[in-house]
Homo-oligomer: A and B are copies of this chain.
Amino acid sequence: MPKRVDHAQRRAHIADALARVAAREGLHTVTLRGVAAEAGVSLNLVQHYFGTKAELMHAALLRLERLSHERWSARLAQLPRPVTPRALFEAFLAEALPTDGPSRDFHLVWTAYATLAMTDPELAAQPFVEGPDRLERQLAEVLRRAQRDGALDPRRDPAAEAARLLTLSHGLGTSVLVGQRSPDAAHALLHAHLDEVFGADETGGAHGASSE
């Protein structure tokens, strides 16, 4: 055998290059040559590790999903214990909104993929269904626990609240990406929503709906 190369690493390197190009110029402008140039490799190398463009696109999507999942897990892991429901949802809110540059890039490309998947049946719609579904169940479970601990009004439906929060954050995310809302405004809105769900009406908390 010859030079011995870590295939997974090479594929990740190229997939990341695709994500950068897509974030900068749009997913629809992605070409094999463009990705190769961004990755600093030859066109043939991209072909060698992915064969076809469709497979590259698919692999880059899977990588995006994996990285996103890992970021979320890492953020959860470094929450101060014990993890209060409110803290967990604050973490979610910080992760789900495109605030800083890298986060914005990720959400941009992810949204572009989702749009693609709406019409391209071969591009698996799985990530856009199973991913959110899993997150929704996870959040619903947290809410159920919060109810048992008395931190959430027992009259609320945990599943519905989880769905509403996820949907709201997603909608706010795209409104930020498109330039309708500032990240701060989105953050404030989602924060106010959490206040309402967790019943901060009477406590007079000085959270403020302004920036920061």
- In the complex, whether A172 has a CB less than 8 A from a CB of chain B is yes
- In the complex, whether A151 has a CB less than 8 A from a CB of chain B is no
Tell me, in angstroms, the Cα distance from A119 to B107 when the chains sit together: 12
Of chain B, the residue at the smallest CB distance from A125 is B179
- Contact mask A145-167 → B, CB, 8 Å, 1/0? 00000000001010010011011
Q: Are A171 and B179 in contact (CB under 8 A)?
A: no
Residues of B within 8 A of A201 (CB): 155
Of B117, B172, B209, which is within 8 A of A167 by CB? Answer: B172
Instruction: List the number of copies, as a whole number.
Output: 2
Name A63-82 residues within 8 Å CB distance of B: none
Given contacts A24-B119, A119-B26, whether A125 and B178 have CB atoms under 8 Å apart is yes
- In the complex, whether A59 has a CB less than 8 A from a CB of chain B is no
Using a CB–CB cutoff of 8 Å, the interface residues on chain A facing chain B are 23-26, 28-29, 108, 111-112, 114-120, 125, 128-129, 132-133, 155, 157, 160, 163-164, 166-172, 174-175, 177-180, 189, 192-193, 201, 209
Other A-B pairs, 17, CB within 8 Å; known A111-B118, A112-B119, A160-B189: A24-B119, A25-B119, A28-B116, A108-B119, A112-B115, A112-B118, A115-B115, A132-B175, A133-B180, A160-B192, A164-B168, A167-B168, A167-B175, A169-B171, A170-B175, A171-B171, A171-B172
